[in-house]
Amino acid sequence: MKKLFASVLYLCAIENLAQEAKPADAKGAEPKSAQVEVLEVEGKRFALVRNFASVEDFAAFERNVQVINQKRQEAQQVQQLAQVALTTPEREARTKELEAKLTVLQSDNAAMAKNYGFDLSRQYLVVQTKLNVLSALSNEEYIKLAADKDFKADSVVNSGEKKFLSRGSVSGAVEVEAFKLQVQRVMETRRALQQLVDLQPRLTKDADKKKVEEAVKNAQSEVNAALEEFKKTRGYDLPNEITLQTAEAKLYTLLSDEENKKLNEQSAPKKDEEKK
Q: pTM, whole model, 2 decimals?
A: 0.76
Q: What 8-state DSSP symbol labels residue 235?
A: S
Residue 260 to residue 38: CA distance in whole angstroms: 10
What pLDDT, on the 0 to 100 scale, is given for residue 267?
72
C-beta of residue 254 within 8 angstroms of C-beta of residue 40: no
C-beta of residue 106 within 8 angstroms of C-beta of residue 71: no
Burial of 170 (0-12, 13-18, 19+ CB in 10 A): buried
pLDDT for 166-203, tens place per residue?
999 999 999 999 999 999 999 999 999 999 999 999 99
pLDDT for 234-255, tens place per residue?
888 888 889 999 999 999 999 9
pLDDT for 44-62, tens place per residue?
999 999 999 999 999 999 9
Percent with pLDDT over 90 in the chain: 70
C-beta of residue 22 within 8 angstroms of C-beta of residue 260: no
| Degrees, nearest 5: CA angle 170-128-176 | 35
Residue 264's pLDDT band, with cuts at 50, 70 and 90, is confident
Better-predicted residue by pLDDT, 272 or 21: 272
**Is pLDDT above 70 for 106?**
yes
What pLDDT, on the 0 to 100 scale, is given for residue 271?
56
